[in-house]
């Protein structure tokens, strides 16, 4: 069974440019998460989707970040415009339905973003 797929694996852009990350979750997983991992830290949640609905986006910086999960499968996370402080690894994870948070989460390989 294929795991969580993310692309691109690496992205280097100049500040003020837009950037987008794509994620395809494990087949059958209704819940999709985007996390951001800064150097030397653990991942931190940005947004959670149940099917196509964003049920928790309280940690997403809405002035420049946006996300969508059309048709409840693939998801795209966008930053526009990027700032130097956005340099990090962006991780996508998926799980079965998250009622009570009791389901195991599986992570993709991440996209390493460098903003110059």
Mark the segment that binds another protein (CB under 8 A) among 15-23, 61-69, 70-78, 88-96.
88-96
Lay out the site mask for another protein across 32-71 (x = CB under 8 A, - = otherwise): -x-x----xxxxxx--x------xx-xx------------
Decide whether 92 or 115 has the Cβ nearer to another protein. Answer: 92
Tokens (6 digits) for 13: 């852009």
CB neighbours of 36 closer than 8 A, spacing ≥ 6? 43, 44, 46, 88, 89, 90, 91
Residue 107 interacts with another protein (CB under 8 A): yes or no: yes
Instruction: Report the distance separating Cα 116 and Cα 108, nearest Å.
Output: 25
- C-alpha angle with apex 108: 95 to 73, nearest 5 degrees? 55
List residues binding another protein (CB under 8 A).
33, 35, 40-45, 48, 55-56, 58-59, 89, 91, 93, 98, 100-107, 109-110, 112
């Amino acid at each position: 069974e294929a795991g969580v797929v993310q692309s691109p694996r690496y992205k280097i852009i100049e500040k003020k440019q837009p950037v987008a990350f794509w994620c395809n979750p494990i087949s059958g997983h209704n819940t999709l998460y985007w996390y951001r991992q800064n150097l030397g830290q653990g991942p931190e949640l940005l947004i959670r989707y149940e099917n196509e609905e964003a049920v928790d986006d309280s940690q997403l910086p809405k002035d420049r970040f946006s996300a969508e999960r059309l048709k409840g499968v693939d998801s795209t996370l966008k930053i526009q415009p990027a700032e130097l402080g956005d340099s990090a690894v962006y991780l996508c994870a998926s799980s079965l339905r998250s009622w009570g948070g009791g389901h195991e989460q599986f992570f993709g390989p991440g996209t390493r973003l460098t903003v110059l």
